[in-house]
Amino acid sequence: MKYLRTLLFVGCTIMALVAAAQQSDPVISSINDAYQKAKEDSKKNKGMGNEMVTTLNYTVRGQGKTTETLHFFFNTVEGTYMMTDDRDPHFFYYPLYYVTRSYNIGKKKYNEEYLFDSYSQRLLFALTQDYDENGKRFDRRFYFHEGSLYHLMGPSPTEFMVDMVIYQADDLKHAFDWLARNPKE
Protein backbone atom coordinates (compact mmCIF):
# COMPACT_ATOMS: atom_id res chain seq x y z
CA MET A 1 0.00 0.00 0.00
CA LYS A 2 2.84 2.39 0.86
CA TYR A 3 4.47 1.57 -2.49
CA LEU A 4 1.21 2.40 -4.29
CA ARG A 5 0.93 5.79 -2.52
CA THR A 6 4.52 6.65 -3.42
CA LEU A 7 3.94 5.64 -7.02
CA LEU A 8 0.74 7.71 -7.14
CA PHE A 9 2.55 10.73 -5.65
CA VAL A 10 5.41 10.46 -8.17
CA GLY A 11 2.91 10.09 -11.02
CA CYS A 12 0.94 13.17 -9.93
CA THR A 13 4.16 15.18 -9.57
CA ILE A 14 5.27 14.22 -13.08
CA MET A 15 1.85 15.12 -14.52
CA ALA A 16 1.94 18.50 -12.75
CA LEU A 17 5.42 19.22 -14.14
CA VAL A 18 4.34 18.24 -17.66
CA ALA A 19 1.24 20.46 -17.41
CA ALA A 20 3.34 23.37 -16.16
CA ALA A 21 5.83 22.90 -19.01
CA GLN A 22 3.02 22.93 -21.57
CA GLN A 23 1.60 26.25 -20.35
CA SER A 24 2.97 28.92 -22.60
CA ASP A 25 4.66 32.05 -21.38
CA PRO A 26 2.24 34.98 -21.94
CA VAL A 27 5.03 37.33 -23.07
CA ILE A 28 6.32 34.88 -25.67
CA SER A 29 2.78 34.00 -26.76
CA SER A 30 1.88 37.64 -27.35
CA ILE A 31 5.11 38.23 -29.30
CA ASN A 32 4.52 35.09 -31.39
CA ASP A 33 0.96 36.24 -32.12
CA ALA A 34 2.20 39.69 -33.19
CA TYR A 35 4.94 38.08 -35.32
CA GLN A 36 2.48 35.75 -37.09
CA LYS A 37 0.12 38.67 -37.71
CA ALA A 38 2.98 40.77 -39.14
CA LYS A 39 3.99 37.93 -41.48
CA GLU A 40 0.39 37.44 -42.63
CA ASP A 41 -0.15 41.17 -43.11
CA SER A 42 3.10 41.52 -45.05
CA LYS A 43 2.04 38.75 -47.45
CA LYS A 44 -1.49 39.95 -48.09
CA ASN A 45 -0.73 43.70 -48.13
CA LYS A 46 2.09 43.70 -50.69
CA GLY A 47 1.62 46.67 -52.96
CA MET A 48 -1.01 48.24 -50.68
CA GLY A 49 1.11 51.28 -49.78
CA ASN A 50 2.28 50.39 -46.28
CA GLU A 51 5.62 48.99 -47.32
CA MET A 52 8.92 50.26 -48.61
CA VAL A 53 11.59 48.19 -50.35
CA THR A 54 15.16 49.20 -50.98
CA THR A 55 17.95 47.20 -52.56
CA LEU A 56 21.64 47.81 -51.95
CA ASN A 57 24.48 46.46 -54.09
CA TYR A 58 27.99 46.51 -52.69
CA THR A 59 31.16 44.45 -52.43
CA VAL A 60 32.30 42.63 -49.29
CA ARG A 61 36.07 42.48 -49.25
CA GLY A 62 37.27 38.95 -49.92
CA GLN A 63 33.72 37.68 -50.54
CA GLY A 64 32.57 39.46 -53.68
CA LYS A 65 29.43 41.25 -54.71
CA THR A 66 26.51 41.39 -52.33
CA THR A 67 22.89 42.32 -52.89
CA GLU A 68 20.91 43.30 -49.82
CA THR A 69 17.15 43.80 -49.86
CA LEU A 70 15.38 45.60 -47.03
CA HIS A 71 11.61 45.34 -46.84
CA PHE A 72 10.01 47.75 -44.36
CA PHE A 73 6.38 47.38 -43.28
CA PHE A 74 4.73 50.20 -41.39
CA ASN A 75 1.30 51.13 -40.09
CA THR A 76 -0.82 53.36 -42.26
CA VAL A 77 -2.12 55.31 -39.27
CA GLU A 78 0.09 58.26 -38.43
CA GLY A 79 1.56 58.50 -34.94
CA THR A 80 3.75 60.84 -32.96
CA TYR A 81 7.46 60.20 -33.19
CA MET A 82 8.58 58.25 -30.09
CA MET A 83 12.38 58.04 -30.45
CA THR A 84 14.30 59.42 -27.46
CA ASP A 85 16.94 61.47 -29.22
CA ASP A 86 16.93 65.15 -30.25
CA ARG A 87 14.29 64.87 -32.95
CA ASP A 88 11.17 66.96 -33.08
CA PRO A 89 8.54 65.12 -30.98
CA HIS A 90 5.76 66.53 -33.16
CA PHE A 91 7.05 64.92 -36.35
CA PHE A 92 4.35 62.65 -37.74
CA TYR A 93 5.43 59.39 -39.29
CA TYR A 94 4.14 55.95 -40.10
CA PRO A 95 5.29 53.62 -37.30
CA LEU A 96 7.54 50.79 -38.39
CA TYR A 97 6.48 47.36 -37.19
CA TYR A 98 8.19 44.69 -39.30
CA VAL A 99 11.40 44.52 -41.33
CA THR A 100 12.86 41.72 -43.42
CA ARG A 101 16.47 41.81 -44.53
CA SER A 102 17.96 39.36 -47.02
CA TYR A 103 21.52 39.37 -48.28
CA ASN A 104 24.39 37.17 -49.33
CA ILE A 105 28.00 37.04 -48.31
CA GLY A 106 29.81 35.04 -50.93
CA LYS A 107 27.65 32.00 -51.65
CA LYS A 108 25.92 32.01 -48.26
CA LYS A 109 22.45 33.52 -48.07
CA TYR A 110 21.08 35.16 -44.94
CA ASN A 111 17.61 36.26 -43.91
CA GLU A 112 16.70 38.33 -40.89
CA GLU A 113 13.39 39.54 -39.52
CA TYR A 114 12.70 42.22 -36.93
CA LEU A 115 9.40 42.94 -35.22
CA PHE A 116 8.79 46.21 -33.38
CA ASP A 117 6.04 47.45 -31.14
CA SER A 118 4.51 50.05 -33.45
CA TYR A 119 3.72 52.41 -30.58
CA SER A 120 6.91 52.38 -28.52
CA GLN A 121 9.16 51.28 -31.40
CA ARG A 122 10.88 48.83 -29.04
CA LEU A 123 12.27 45.65 -30.54
CA LEU A 124 10.02 42.69 -29.70
CA PHE A 125 11.45 39.89 -31.80
CA ALA A 126 14.33 39.12 -34.12
CA LEU A 127 14.97 36.07 -36.26
CA THR A 128 18.50 35.64 -37.57
CA GLN A 129 20.12 32.93 -39.63
CA ASP A 130 23.70 31.81 -39.47
CA TYR A 131 25.86 28.85 -40.44
CA ASP A 132 27.65 26.37 -38.18
CA GLU A 133 31.20 25.14 -38.73
CA ASN A 134 29.89 22.40 -41.08
CA GLY A 135 28.08 24.92 -43.28
CA LYS A 136 24.59 23.99 -42.05
CA ARG A 137 22.20 26.91 -41.69
CA PHE A 138 20.30 27.46 -38.42
CA ASP A 139 17.93 30.02 -36.90
CA ARG A 140 18.07 32.00 -33.70
CA ARG A 141 14.90 33.58 -32.32
CA PHE A 142 15.38 36.49 -29.92
CA TYR A 143 12.43 37.57 -27.78
CA PHE A 144 12.68 40.99 -26.13
CA HIS A 145 10.60 42.42 -23.31
CA GLU A 146 10.90 45.93 -21.89
CA GLY A 147 14.07 46.64 -23.83
CA SER A 148 16.13 43.56 -22.96
CA LEU A 149 16.52 39.97 -24.08
CA TYR A 150 13.77 37.89 -22.50
CA HIS A 151 14.14 34.50 -24.18
CA LEU A 152 16.26 32.86 -26.87
CA MET A 153 15.52 29.87 -29.07
CA GLY A 154 18.45 28.35 -30.93
CA PRO A 155 22.15 28.04 -30.25
CA SER A 156 23.42 30.29 -27.48
CA PRO A 157 24.90 33.49 -28.85
CA THR A 158 27.67 35.53 -27.34
CA GLU A 159 26.75 38.76 -25.56
CA PHE A 160 28.26 40.58 -28.54
CA MET A 161 25.79 38.83 -30.88
CA VAL A 162 22.83 39.94 -28.77
CA ASP A 163 24.15 43.51 -28.79
CA MET A 164 24.59 43.30 -32.58
CA VAL A 165 20.96 42.21 -33.05
CA ILE A 166 19.79 45.19 -30.97
CA TYR A 167 22.17 47.51 -32.84
CA GLN A 168 21.02 46.18 -36.23
CA ALA A 169 17.36 46.66 -35.30
CA ASP A 170 18.05 50.24 -34.17
CA ASP A 171 20.02 50.90 -37.36
CA LEU A 172 17.11 49.61 -39.48
CA LYS A 173 14.69 51.92 -37.63
CA HIS A 174 16.94 54.89 -38.36
CA ALA A 175 17.34 53.84 -42.01
CA PHE A 176 13.57 53.60 -42.38
CA ASP A 177 13.14 57.00 -40.75
CA TRP A 178 15.71 58.55 -43.07
CA LEU A 179 14.18 56.96 -46.16
CA ALA A 180 10.68 58.04 -45.12
CA ARG A 181 11.85 61.66 -44.67
CA ASN A 182 13.96 61.71 -47.85
CA PRO A 183 12.12 59.59 -50.42
CA LYS A 184 13.77 61.16 -53.49
CA GLU A 185 17.39 60.78 -52.40
Question: Could you tell me the residue ranges of all domains in the chain?
Answer: 27-181
Is the pTM above the cut of 0.85? no
Angle among Cα 23, 27, 29 to the nearest 5 degrees reads: 60
Residue 90 or residue 181, greater confidence: 181
pLDDT of 183 > 80? The answer is no
Identify whether the C-beta of residue 127 lies closer than 8 Å to the C-beta of residue 112. Answer: yes
Span 145-172, pLDDT tens digits: 988 899 999 988 888 999 999 999 999 9
Average pLDDT over residues 134-138: 89
* CA proximity to 100, closest of 110, 113, 117: 113
pLDDT digits (tens, 9 = 90+) for 95-127: 889 999 999 888 889 999 999 998 888 999 999
Torsion angles phi and psi, residue 47, rounded to 5 = 80, 10
Say yes or no to pLDDT of 15 above 60: no
pLDDT of residue 20: 45
- Beta carbons within 8 Å of 140's beta carbon, 6+ residues apart: 127, 128, 129, 130, 152, 153, 154, 155, 157
Q: Is the pLDDT of residue 18 over 50?
A: no
